Amino acid sequence: MHRIDEKVNALRAAREADPDSLLDKAFKAAVPALVGMVAGKAFQTLWDKGTSRRNLRKGLAEDAPQGLLMSLAFAAASAAFGAVVSQLSDRGSKAIVARRHRKARR
């Protein structure tokens, strides 16, 4: 029983020592997700405009289906762009929370 009690006390101490509040944790989770969704939609919009312009130059319909290579290129470019944006927004949200903690300690 003492081992369980010690483990519970250690977990409680770790939770109480954590400087992040529930709002901080929610902010660090929500901001990268929202930024990723917005950036992904913006990338898709720009891609669609580019492909429709390309289709018109080729004499095709504006919404002509893309080939396999263009679909693969979109998937790769979209994933790379999403990963970069997600990493940057994750670092940014953590930096904002850390800065808020530093200001609060002063």
Q: CB within 8 A of 90, min separation 6: which ones?
A: 28, 32
Instruction: Please check whether residue 63 lies inside any domain of the structure.
Output: yes
Largest CA distance in the chain: 78
85 — pLDDT class (breaks 50, 70, 90): very high
DSSP label of 18? -
In a domain? residue 67: yes
C-alpha to C-alpha distance for 89 and 29, rounded to whole angstroms: 10
Residue 2 maps to a domain: no
Q: Is residue 90 part of a domain?
A: yes
pLDDT class of 46 with cuts at 50, 70, 90: very high
Q: Helices (DSSP H) in 67-106: which residue ranges?
A: 68-105
Q: Residue 15: inside a domain, yes or no? A: no
Range of the structural domain that residue 87 is part of: 20-105
Structural domain includes residue 9? no
| pLDDT of the residue at 57 | 82
3 located within any domain: no
Q: How confident is the model at residue 53 (pLDDT cuts 50, 70, 90)?
A: confident
Residue 86 falls within a domain, yes or no?
yes
Is pLDDT at 16 greater than 80 in this prediction? no
Domain count, the chain: 1
Q: How far is CA 62 from CA 26, 43, 72, in A?
A: 42, 18, 20
